[in-house]
C-alpha cells in the first residue's frame, strides 16, 4: 500500500495540498506513516508530522531518526 502511494504523496507535497495529504494519511498505522516519512526529505517529514493527527504523528515521529530530534 505504502509503495503505491509514494509518488502520489510526493506530488501532493510538491503542490503543498496539505488538506488532501492529511485526509490520505489520517487512518494509516504509525508503521505505515513511518515508511512513507523515511522516503521523504527531512523538511517534508516535518510537514507530514505537523498535519497528521497528534497521536499518530507522535507514534510515527518516535520511530524516525532525525537530526536534532532529541535536542542534539
Domain ranges of the chain: 2-63
Are the C-beta atoms of residues 13 and 21 closer than 8 Å to each other?
yes
| Closest CA relative to residue 27, chosen from 64, 60, 63 | 60
* pLDDT of 72 above 50: no
CA distances from 36 to 25, 29, 72 (A): 10, 11, 24
Q: Note the pLDDT tens digit of each residue in 11-47.
A: 899 999 999 999 988 888 888 888 888 888 888 888 8
Global pTM exceeds 0.95:
no
Amino acid at each position: 500500500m505504502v509503495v503505491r502511494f509514494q509518488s502520489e504523496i510526493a506530488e501532493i507535497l510538491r503542490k503543498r495540498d496539505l488538506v488532501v495529504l492529511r485526509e490520505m494519511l489520517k487512518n494509516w498505522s504509525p508503521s505505515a506513516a513511518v515508511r512513507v516519512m523515511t522516503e521523504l526529505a527531512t523538511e517534508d517529514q516535518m510537514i507530514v508530522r505537523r498535519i497528521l493527527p497528534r497521536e499518530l504523528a507522535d507514534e510515527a515521529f518516535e520511530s524516525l531518526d532525525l537530526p536534532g530530534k532529541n535536542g542534539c
